[in-house]
Homo-oligomer: A and B are copies of this chain.
């Protein structure tokens, strides 16, 4: 069992953020010791990594809340949870497509700069 400090060192997530996630219901079943201090086990670490992956791919806190709520409901919500993940997968793929699309525009801009620089070279103008 790990203290909150050990988890922050392991994950790079700030302690207040871990408490915030827990308060918002993103981390089910984090235990406490006899004095109320948090103790994290392997399952908690898995949840933290999973929540981090969802956040890093743009899933809002509110939707992760819903997912964890369904998880707590038990096996009857498995298909709904799977559908949430399928939907989120689509969103991520869409984000990637949009990034590539806009990356093209940046590359076009960079190509223009290359043209300008080669013109400067040819005409021997100094900037």
Asked if A20 CB lies within 8 Å of chain B CBs, one says: no
What is the copy number of this chain in the assembly?
2
The contact of A92 among B79, B82, B102, B109, by CB within 8 Å, is B102
Interface residues of chain A: helix, strand, loop or mixed (majority): helix
The contact of A99 among B50, B57, B102, B105, by CB within 8 Å, is B57
> Which B-chain residue is minimally distant from A82 (CB atoms)?
B113
CB pair A96 B102 closer than 8 Å? no
Chain B residues whose CB sits within 8 angstroms of the CB of A81 once the complex forms: 113
The contact of A89 among B49, B76, B107, by CB within 8 Å, is B107
> When each residue 101-127 of chain A gets 1 if its CB lies under 8 Å from chain B and 0 otherwise, what string results?
011011101100100110000000001
Which positions 73-95 of chain A face chain B at CB distance < 8 Å?
A: 75-76, 78-79, 81-82, 85-86, 88-89, 92-93, 95
> Which B-chain residue is minimally distant from A103 (CB atoms)?
B92
CB pair B110 A78 closer than 8 Å? no
CB pair B53 A105 closer than 8 Å? yes
CB pair B99 A96 closer than 8 Å? yes
The contact of A56 among B82, B92, B102, B107, by CB within 8 Å, is B102
The contact of A53 among B50, B82, B92, B102, by CB within 8 Å, is B102
Counting from the closest, the 3 A-B pairs by CB-CB distance are A82-B113, A53-B105, A53-B102
